Amino acid sequence: MGGKTKWYGAALFRFRPVEFEADPDYGLLGWPFGYEELKPYYDEATELLRITTFQNEPQLQALLDKITTAEPGWKLHPLPLGLSHDIVNHPEEAKHFDGFASPSGLKSDSERNLIDHIRDKPNFTLLAGTPVAELIARRAIPARSSASNATTARPTRQIRSCSPPAP
Ligand SMILES: Cc1cc2nc3c(=O)[nH]c(=O)nc-3n(C[C@H](O)[C@H](O)[C@H](O)COP(=O)(O)OP(=O)(O)OC[C@H]3O[C@@H](n4cnc5c(N)ncnc54)[C@H](O)[C@@H]3O)c2cc1C
Protein backbone atom coordinates (compact mmCIF):
# COMPACT_ATOMS: atom_id res chain seq x y z
CA MET A 1 0.00 0.00 0.00
CA GLY A 2 2.73 2.38 0.89
CA GLY A 3 6.15 2.27 2.41
CA LYS A 4 9.01 1.45 0.12
CA THR A 5 6.68 0.61 -2.76
CA LYS A 6 6.00 4.36 -3.06
CA TRP A 7 9.69 5.29 -3.00
CA TYR A 8 11.37 2.52 -4.93
CA GLY A 9 13.31 3.12 -8.14
CA ALA A 10 10.76 1.44 -10.46
CA ALA A 11 13.33 -1.07 -11.80
CA LEU A 12 11.37 -4.33 -11.96
CA PHE A 13 13.64 -7.21 -12.89
CA ARG A 14 12.79 -10.88 -13.22
CA PHE A 15 15.26 -13.47 -11.98
CA ARG A 16 16.94 -15.12 -14.95
CA PRO A 17 16.38 -18.89 -15.39
CA VAL A 18 20.02 -19.56 -14.49
CA GLU A 19 19.55 -17.88 -11.11
CA PHE A 20 17.26 -20.70 -9.98
CA GLU A 21 19.98 -23.27 -10.55
CA ALA A 22 22.56 -24.54 -8.08
CA ASP A 23 26.02 -23.00 -8.26
CA PRO A 24 28.35 -25.50 -6.58
CA ASP A 25 31.39 -23.24 -7.12
CA TYR A 26 29.89 -20.83 -4.59
CA GLY A 27 28.15 -23.49 -2.44
CA LEU A 28 24.73 -22.25 -3.56
CA LEU A 29 21.76 -24.63 -3.61
CA GLY A 30 19.24 -24.58 -6.45
CA TRP A 31 15.71 -23.35 -5.88
CA PRO A 32 13.06 -26.09 -5.40
CA PHE A 33 11.41 -24.83 -8.61
CA GLY A 34 12.55 -23.15 -11.79
CA TYR A 35 11.79 -19.97 -13.71
CA GLU A 36 8.88 -21.61 -15.55
CA GLU A 37 6.98 -21.98 -12.26
CA LEU A 38 7.13 -18.24 -11.66
CA LYS A 39 6.68 -17.14 -15.28
CA PRO A 40 2.85 -16.87 -15.21
CA TYR A 41 3.11 -14.69 -12.10
CA TYR A 42 5.87 -12.57 -13.64
CA ASP A 43 3.67 -12.16 -16.74
CA GLU A 44 0.69 -11.09 -14.63
CA ALA A 45 2.81 -8.68 -12.60
CA THR A 46 4.26 -7.25 -15.83
CA GLU A 47 0.75 -6.45 -16.99
CA LEU A 48 -0.53 -5.14 -13.67
CA LEU A 49 2.54 -2.98 -13.07
CA ARG A 50 2.68 -1.90 -16.73
CA ILE A 51 6.33 -2.70 -16.98
CA THR A 52 7.97 -1.14 -20.00
CA THR A 53 11.35 -0.06 -21.34
CA PHE A 54 12.75 3.26 -22.50
CA GLN A 55 15.24 4.23 -25.18
CA ASN A 56 18.59 5.21 -23.76
CA GLU A 57 19.57 8.87 -23.83
CA PRO A 58 21.95 9.51 -26.78
CA GLN A 59 25.02 10.13 -24.59
CA LEU A 60 24.40 6.94 -22.62
CA GLN A 61 23.79 4.95 -25.80
CA ALA A 62 27.05 6.27 -27.30
CA LEU A 63 28.93 5.15 -24.19
CA LEU A 64 27.27 1.72 -24.27
CA ASP A 65 28.07 1.31 -27.97
CA LYS A 66 31.71 2.07 -27.21
CA ILE A 67 31.82 -0.56 -24.46
CA THR A 68 30.10 -3.31 -26.47
CA THR A 69 32.20 -2.60 -29.56
CA ALA A 70 35.41 -2.82 -27.55
CA GLU A 71 34.23 -5.91 -25.64
CA PRO A 72 31.53 -7.93 -27.47
CA GLY A 73 31.14 -10.16 -24.38
CA TRP A 74 28.99 -7.41 -22.84
CA LYS A 75 25.34 -7.69 -23.84
CA LEU A 76 22.85 -4.86 -23.55
CA HIS A 77 19.43 -5.45 -22.04
CA PRO A 78 16.81 -2.73 -21.62
CA LEU A 79 15.93 -1.92 -18.02
CA PRO A 80 12.36 -3.05 -17.20
CA LEU A 81 10.69 -0.09 -15.51
CA GLY A 82 7.32 0.49 -13.87
CA LEU A 83 7.14 4.01 -15.27
CA SER A 84 4.72 5.75 -17.60
CA HIS A 85 6.28 6.96 -20.86
CA ASP A 86 4.60 10.27 -20.05
CA ILE A 87 7.33 10.88 -17.46
CA VAL A 88 9.53 12.33 -20.21
CA ASN A 89 7.05 15.24 -20.32
CA HIS A 90 7.56 15.85 -16.59
CA PRO A 91 11.24 16.77 -16.25
CA GLU A 92 11.03 17.38 -12.49
CA GLU A 93 9.68 13.89 -11.85
CA ALA A 94 11.98 12.31 -14.44
CA LYS A 95 14.96 13.70 -12.49
CA HIS A 96 14.12 11.94 -9.25
CA PHE A 97 11.65 9.10 -9.58
CA ASP A 98 14.13 6.87 -7.70
CA GLY A 99 13.73 7.52 -3.99
CA PHE A 100 10.65 9.75 -4.34
CA ALA A 101 6.94 9.04 -4.68
CA SER A 102 5.34 10.19 -7.94
CA PRO A 103 2.71 12.85 -7.15
CA SER A 104 1.47 12.66 -10.77
CA GLY A 105 1.00 8.89 -10.64
CA LEU A 106 3.70 8.20 -13.24
CA LYS A 107 5.29 5.35 -11.32
CA SER A 108 3.68 1.93 -10.88
CA ASP A 109 3.03 1.23 -7.24
CA SER A 110 0.99 -1.17 -5.17
CA GLU A 111 -1.70 1.38 -4.33
CA ARG A 112 -2.42 2.50 -7.90
CA ASN A 113 -1.69 -0.70 -9.78
CA LEU A 114 -2.92 -3.33 -7.34
CA ILE A 115 -5.18 -2.01 -4.57
CA ASP A 116 -7.11 0.37 -6.85
CA HIS A 117 -8.22 -2.66 -8.92
CA ILE A 118 -9.90 -4.31 -5.95
CA ARG A 119 -10.78 -1.32 -3.78
CA ASP A 120 -14.48 -1.49 -4.69
CA LYS A 121 -14.87 -5.28 -4.51
CA PRO A 122 -17.51 -6.33 -1.98
CA ASN A 123 -15.15 -8.86 -0.40
CA PHE A 124 -12.35 -6.33 0.14
CA THR A 125 -12.10 -3.80 2.94
CA LEU A 126 -9.11 -1.56 3.50
CA LEU A 127 -8.64 -0.89 7.19
CA ALA A 128 -6.34 2.14 7.19
CA GLY A 129 -4.67 3.05 10.45
CA THR A 130 -5.01 -0.43 11.85
CA PRO A 131 -1.83 -2.37 12.62
CA VAL A 132 -1.78 -5.94 11.30
CA ALA A 133 -1.64 -8.35 14.22
CA GLU A 134 -1.61 -11.57 12.21
CA LEU A 135 -2.46 -13.09 8.84
CA ILE A 136 -5.32 -15.55 9.13
CA ALA A 137 -5.67 -18.62 6.92
CA ARG A 138 -9.27 -18.98 5.76
CA ARG A 139 -9.43 -22.15 3.70
CA ALA A 140 -7.05 -24.54 2.05
CA ILE A 141 -6.62 -24.63 -1.73
CA PRO A 142 -4.65 -27.22 -3.66
CA ALA A 143 -1.28 -25.94 -4.83
CA ARG A 144 0.87 -27.73 -7.38
CA SER A 145 4.53 -28.17 -6.75
CA SER A 146 6.48 -28.76 -9.95
CA ALA A 147 9.51 -30.01 -8.01
CA SER A 148 7.67 -33.05 -6.70
CA ASN A 149 4.74 -32.88 -9.11
CA ALA A 150 2.60 -33.57 -6.05
CA THR A 151 -0.53 -31.73 -5.05
CA THR A 152 -0.40 -30.35 -1.54
CA ALA A 153 -2.86 -28.22 0.39
CA ARG A 154 -1.63 -24.75 1.28
CA PRO A 155 -3.78 -22.31 3.22
CA THR A 156 -4.84 -19.12 1.51
CA ARG A 157 -4.19 -16.01 3.51
CA GLN A 158 -6.49 -13.23 4.35
CA ILE A 159 -4.82 -9.88 4.72
CA ARG A 160 -6.62 -8.09 7.47
CA SER A 161 -4.91 -4.74 7.01
CA CYS A 162 -1.93 -3.49 5.11
CA SER A 163 -1.65 0.15 5.88
CA PRO A 164 0.17 2.18 8.51
CA PRO A 165 -1.59 4.99 10.38
CA ALA A 166 -2.01 8.14 8.30
CA PRO A 167 0.53 10.84 9.25
C1 LIG B 1 15.01 4.19 -2.26
C2 LIG B 1 14.59 2.77 -2.65
C3 LIG B 1 14.70 2.37 -3.97
C4 LIG B 1 14.32 1.06 -4.33
N5 LIG B 1 14.38 0.72 -5.63
C6 LIG B 1 13.95 -0.50 -6.04
C7 LIG B 1 13.90 -0.82 -7.42
O8 LIG B 1 14.23 -0.02 -8.30
N9 LIG B 1 13.44 -2.05 -7.76
C10 LIG B 1 13.02 -2.97 -6.81
O11 LIG B 1 12.62 -4.08 -7.19
N12 LIG B 1 13.06 -2.67 -5.49
C13 LIG B 1 13.50 -1.47 -5.09
N14 LIG B 1 13.49 -1.15 -3.75
C15 LIG B 1 12.99 -2.15 -2.81
C16 LIG B 1 11.45 -2.16 -2.87
O17 LIG B 1 10.97 -0.85 -2.70
C18 LIG B 1 10.87 -3.05 -1.77
O19 LIG B 1 11.47 -4.33 -1.83
C20 LIG B 1 9.35 -3.21 -1.95
O21 LIG B 1 8.73 -1.97 -2.10
C22 LIG B 1 8.77 -3.93 -0.75
O23 LIG B 1 7.36 -3.97 -0.93
P24 LIG B 1 6.43 -4.51 0.21
O25 LIG B 1 5.01 -4.36 -0.28
O26 LIG B 1 6.92 -5.86 0.63
O27 LIG B 1 6.72 -3.53 1.42
P28 LIG B 1 6.45 -1.96 1.58
O29 LIG B 1 6.25 -1.25 0.28
O30 LIG B 1 7.54 -1.45 2.48
O31 LIG B 1 5.06 -1.91 2.32
C32 LIG B 1 4.87 -2.46 3.61
C33 LIG B 1 3.86 -1.57 4.32
O34 LIG B 1 3.37 -2.26 5.46
C35 LIG B 1 3.36 -1.35 6.56
N36 LIG B 1 3.43 -2.16 7.79
C37 LIG B 1 4.49 -2.81 8.31
N38 LIG B 1 4.11 -3.47 9.42
C39 LIG B 1 2.78 -3.26 9.57
C40 LIG B 1 1.80 -3.68 10.54
N41 LIG B 1 2.10 -4.50 11.56
N42 LIG B 1 0.54 -3.27 10.38
C43 LIG B 1 0.16 -2.49 9.34
N44 LIG B 1 1.04 -2.06 8.39
C45 LIG B 1 2.33 -2.43 8.52
C46 LIG B 1 4.57 -0.47 6.35
O47 LIG B 1 4.44 0.74 7.06
C48 LIG B 1 4.48 -0.26 4.81
O49 LIG B 1 3.63 0.81 4.45
C50 LIG B 1 13.86 0.14 -3.34
C51 LIG B 1 13.75 0.57 -2.01
C52 LIG B 1 14.11 1.85 -1.67
C53 LIG B 1 13.94 2.28 -0.23
Each of the 167 residues of the chain gets a pLDDT tens digit; together they read 678 889 999 999 999 999 999 999 999 999 999 999 999 999 999 999 999 999 998 999 999 999 999 999 998 999 999 999 999 999 999 998 899 999 999 999 988 999 999 999 999 998 888 888 888 877 665 555 444 444 444 444 444 433 333 33
Segment 37-76, tens digit of pLDDT: 999 999 999 999 999 999 998 999 999 999 999 999 998 9
Task: Give how far Cα 7 sits from Cα of 30, 42, 76, 110, Å.
Answer: 32, 21, 26, 11
Residue 135 · residue 158 · CB < 8 Å: yes
Give the sign of the dihedral formed by CA 94, CA 99, CA 100, CA 101: positive
Per the prediction, the chain carries an average pLDDT of 84
Per-domain boundaries in the chain: 4-121, 125-167
Phi, psi of 75 (to 5 degrees): -115, 140
Q: Is the CB–ligand 1 distance for residue 164 below 6 Å?
A: yes
Q: Is the CB–ligand 1 distance for residue 17 below 6 Å?
A: no
Q: Ligand 1: which of 6, 8, 42, 100 to mutate, most ligand atoms within 8 Å of CB?
A: 8
Residue in 123, 129, 139, 135 with CA at minimum distance from that of residue 160: 135
Give the C-alpha separation, 19 to 42, whole Å. Answer: 15
Q: How far is the CA of 77 from the centre of ligand 1 (A)?
A: 26
Residue 83 · residue 97 · CB < 8 Å: yes
Task: Give how far Cα 36 sits from Cα of 66, 94, 122, Å.
Answer: 35, 34, 33
Q: Which residues contact 120 (CB under 8 A, 6 or more apart)?
A: none
